[in-house]
Structure 1
Amino acid sequence: MKLATLRNGRPDGALVVVSRDLQHYLPADGIAPTMQAALDDWDTVEPRLRDLSEKVETDPSRLPFDPVEAMAPLPRAYQWADGSAYVNHVELVRKARGAGMPETFWTDPLIYQGAADCNLGPREPIRIADEKLGCDFEGEIAVVVGPVPAGADEAAARDSIRLIMLVNDVTLRNLVPGELAKGFGFFQSKPQTAFSPVAVTPDELGEAWDGERVHLPLLIARGDEAFGRPEAGSDMVFSFARLIAHVAQTRPIGAGGVIGSGTISNADPAVGSACIAERRAREMIADGEPKTPFLADGERVRIEMLSADGASIFGAIEQQVRLG
C-alpha cells in the first residue's frame, strides 16, 4: 500500500492512497483525513485503506497523481530522530579530519533529534541564506512507527514499523564543527528535511525488506550526473529495530514518530556516496584535500529507489537549491 499527503490548504494536508505505479490516487477522507489520523487509529483504518489501495488500481473515478502537489507524508511529525546506522560513513568523515573511531560507535547508535514540524515535500526547494554554509544532501531511508512503549525491546520495535519513506536530510556542513564543539549536538546545521512523495507499507518492498533493513540501492543524482548508488542493506550496522529500541530506551515514541537511518554508506568506494561530505572525505584521505564543492544556487538533487524490476517504489525526491 502506498500513501501520500496532498496539499489542500491545511497544514497537515489530505491523505490519499496511491496506485502502485504512482500514476493515480483516490482520496481517503472517508477513512482518515490525514496521515497522522490514520496512524493514530492504525488497527482500525489499515484494512479500509488496503481495500482502497486495491480499488485505486482500476477504479474509473481515480485521479492523476502529481508529486508536485505532494507534501511530506507527515508534514508535521511528532518526532524526527535520525540515526547513523552506517558506521562506515562516520569512520570516513572522522578519518578525513584525523580523528579516531571510539569502539562504542560500533555498538551504540548515534542519534540526533531534528526539526519535525516543518518537513518538506519531495519537490520543494532547498532554501539557504548563503552558499558559504556548505549545503549538502544526505540520502537516507526512514521508518514511521506506531506507538512504542519506553524500554521496548528490538522485537517490539520491529513490530511497530508501519511505513517506510526516503529522505533528503539536508545539512549545512560549515555550521557543524562549531555546533559540535559546544558539546550539545546539531541544531542550525540541520534545516528542513525532505521526504519522498509516498510512504509505503513494508510489504510493498517484497523480498527487499527483511523486517529490519531494505536491501536495494539508493540512487542519488547531482544535476544530470549519477553521484552514488549505495546498497541500503549492506553495511547497515544498526537495524531499524535497533534504532527504534535505542530511541525508546528511556521514553515512549508516539504514533507517527519518524526514525531515520542516517546517510546510506558502503565500504566499497565504487558505489559512490549518498552525500557530498563522504566524497570529500575520501578525497581528503586519498589526496590530502577535498575537491568536490558543496551545493550551489540552482543545483538540483534527485533521490530515488527502484524495485528489482526497475519501478520507482517511493517516487523521487527532486529538489533545487535556492538562495533566500
Structure 2
Amino acid sequence: MKLASLKQGGRDGTLIVASRDLGKAVRVSAIATTLQSALEDWGSTAPRLNRIYELLNDSHAETINGEAVFAFEPAALAAPLPRAYEFVDGSAYLPHVERVRRARGAEVPESFYTDPLMYQAVSAGFYGPRDPVLVASEDYGIDLEAEIVIVTDDVPMAVTPAQATEHIQLIGLVNDVSLRNLIPPELVKGFGFLQSKPRSALSPVFVTPDELGAAWKNAKVHLPLVTRINDVAFGAPEAGDDMQFSFADLVAHAAKTRPLSAGTIVGSGTIANQDESRGASCLAERRTLETLANGKPSTPFLKFGDSVRIEMFDRAGASIFGAIQQTMQRV
C-alpha cells in the first residue's frame, strides 16, 4: 500500500491512503490520524489500512469507510512523516566513498567494508515533496543527495540483520540536502555534522515492501533512482548494485546498543555505482569524478532558482513513490 500525509491537522499532518497509480486518495482518520500513530500500532493498523488501499484501487466509489475519495495532489502534501523520532543515515554505497577519498589522496580503511558508516541526521522536521529548500547563502555549497529510506516499527536492541528485515515496514525516497562548503570545517573538529546537514525532503508517499514486488530482494531495492537538475538528466544509478550493506544490515547496526522507536527512518546514503556511465546522485560525486579526470571540478553547486527532481519508476515505467520536486530558495 501507499501512504502519505496532508498538510493538515498540525505538525504531524493527516494520514491518507493513496492509490497505486497516485491518482486518488482517501483519509483514514477512523484507523489512524497520523502515520506515526499508525506505526506505533502497526500490527493492528496495517491490515485495516491495506483493506482501504484495496478498495481504493479496485472500486470507483466516491466514499470509502465514510470518507470522501479525492484527487491525489503532491502540492498539498507534507512529508509522509513530517517529523520522526529518529533519522539515521548510512553510507552504504562504497563507490561514492572510494572516489571521494581517492580525490583527496586518502585510502579507504578496511573497516569501511565490514562496518557501516552512519550518522544521526535531522529528524525534527522534513520538507514535503514540493516544498522549496531554504538556505541562507549559495556560498554554503548547496547539494542534493538522492537516496532511499526505510521506516521501521519498534526494533529491539541488538537485533540481527535477519531479524531486522522483519521490522522494515515502509520504503521511500529522500533528498538528503548537504551544504558541502560547511562540511570540511565541521569534520575537522572530529564531532560530526551539524550546520552542514539541514532539513531533508521526503517523497510524496511511502510504500510497503510488497509494492516493489521482485525489486525488493535481500533488503535492497533493485531499481534505478532517477535524478534531474533543471529538467536535465543527471543520474540513474541502480540502487540494488554496489550496495555494500543492505537495509537489514543498516537497521541492525543502528540498533546494536539501543532500541529503535516505531517511525525511525534509516537512509541508504548517496546511491552510486562503479559504472560511472549511469550518472550520479549528488553534485559532489560528479565534482569528484571531474577532479580525478581533470585536476579540478567544473560543475557548480546549486544556485537559488535551480530545481531538483528525484523519482523511481517500476519496470513498466510507473512512478512508485511520486517525485520529490524542489527549488532552491533563499531563506
TM-score (norm 2): 0.97
- Aligned residue number for residue 103 of structure 1: 110
Question: Does 2:200 correspond to 1:193?
Answer: yes
Distance in 1 (CA, whole Å) between partners of 2:314 and 2:62 is 27
> How far did residue 92 of structure 1 move?
0.7
Q: Is the 8 A contact 2:82 2:127 kept in 1?
A: yes
> How far did residue 96 of structure 1 move?
1.0
The one-letter amino acid paired with 2:5 is T
- Aligned residue number for residue 3 of structure 1: 3
Q: Is the 8 A contact 2:231 2:309 kept in 1?
A: no
- Following TM superposition, the consecutive aligned residue runs of length 4 or more in structure 1 with deviations greater than 3 angstroms are none
Q: Is the 8 A contact 2:311 2:323 kept in 1?
A: yes
Judging changes above 3 Å, is the alpha-carbon distance between structure 1 residues 211 and 69 closer, same or farther for their aligned structure 2 residues? farther
Distance in 2 (CA, whole Å) between partners of 1:100 and 1:173 is 21
- Aligned residue number for residue 88 of structure 1: 95
The one-letter amino acid paired with 1:292 is T
Segment drifting more, 288-297 vs 54-63: 54-63
Segment drifting more, 7-16 vs 131-140: 7-16
The one-letter amino acid paired with 1:18 is A
Distance in 2 (CA, whole Å) between partners of 1:188 and 1:21 is 38
The one-letter amino acid paired with 2:237 is P
> How far did residue 211 of structure 1 move?
4.1
- The aligned runs of 1:29-44 (5 Å cut-off) are 29-44=29-44
Q: Counterpart of 1:291 in 2: which secondary structure?
A: coil
The one-letter amino acid paired with 1:128 is V
Question: Does 2:150 correspond to 1:124?
Answer: no
The one-letter amino acid paired with 2:62 is P
- Aligned residue number for residue 295 of structure 2: 288
- Aligned residue number for residue 56 of structure 1: 56
Distance in 1 (CA, whole Å) between partners of 2:195 and 2:113 is 27
For residues 290-315 of structure 1, give each alpha carbon's deviation from its aligned partner in whole angstroms, at most 9, with x where no partner exists. 00000001000000000000000000
2:82 aligned to which of 75, 96, 109: 75
Question: Does 2:211 correspond to 1:212?
Answer: no
The one-letter amino acid paired with 1:100 is E
Distance in 1 (CA, whole Å) between partners of 2:200 and 2:83 is 11
The one-letter amino acid paired with 2:226 is L
The one-letter amino acid paired with 1:30 is A
Question: Does 2:274 correspond to 1:267?
Answer: yes
- Aligned residue number for residue 66 of structure 2: none
2:188 aligned to which of 175, 181, 186: 181
Distance in 1 (CA, whole Å) between partners of 2:231 and 2:170 is 30
- Aligned residue number for residue 247 of structure 2: 240
Q: Counterpart of 2:308 in 1: which secondary structure?
A: strand
Q: Is the 8 A contact 2:218 2:246 kept in 1?
A: no
Question: Does 2:179 correspond to 1:172?
Answer: yes
> How far did residue 12 of structure 1 move?
0.4
> How far did residue 248 of structure 1 move?
0.3
For residues 198-236 of structure 1, give each alpha carbon's deviation from its aligned partner in whole angstroms, at most 9, with x where no partner exists. 000000000000140000000000012100000000000
Distance in 1 (CA, whole Å) between partners of 2:232 and 2:155 is 41
Distance in 1 (CA, whole Å) between partners of 2:164 and 2:190 is 29
1:253 aligned to which of 257, 260, 263: 260
The one-letter amino acid paired with 1:323 is R
Q: Flag structure 1 segments of 5+ consecutive residues without an equivalent.
A: none
Q: Flag structure 2 segments of 5+ consecutive residues without an equivalent.
A: 64-68
Distance in 2 (CA, whole Å) between partners of 1:56 and 1:70 is 19
Q: Counterpart of 1:281 in 2: which secondary structure?
A: helix
Question: Does 2:122 correspond to 1:115?
Answer: yes
- Aligned residue number for residue 152 of structure 1: 159
Question: Does 2:313 correspond to 1:297?
Answer: no
TM-score (norm 1): 0.99
2:145 aligned to which of 138, 143, 155: 138
> How far did residue 60 of structure 1 move?
2.2
Distance in 1 (CA, whole Å) between partners of 2:222 and 2:13 is 31
> How far did residue 76 of structure 1 move?
1.1
Distance in 2 (CA, whole Å) between partners of 1:7 and 1:14 is 7
Q: Counterpart of 1:245 in 2: which secondary structure?
A: helix
- Aligned residue number for residue 231 of structure 1: 238
Distance in 1 (CA, whole Å) between partners of 2:218 and 2:47 is 20
Segment drifting more, 154-163 vs 95-104: 95-104
For residues 71-112 of structure 1, give each alpha carbon's deviation from its aligned partner in whole angstroms, at most 9, with x where no partner exists. 111111000000000011011111111211111111110000
| Percent identity (aligned) | 54
- Aligned residue number for residue 66 of structure 1: 73
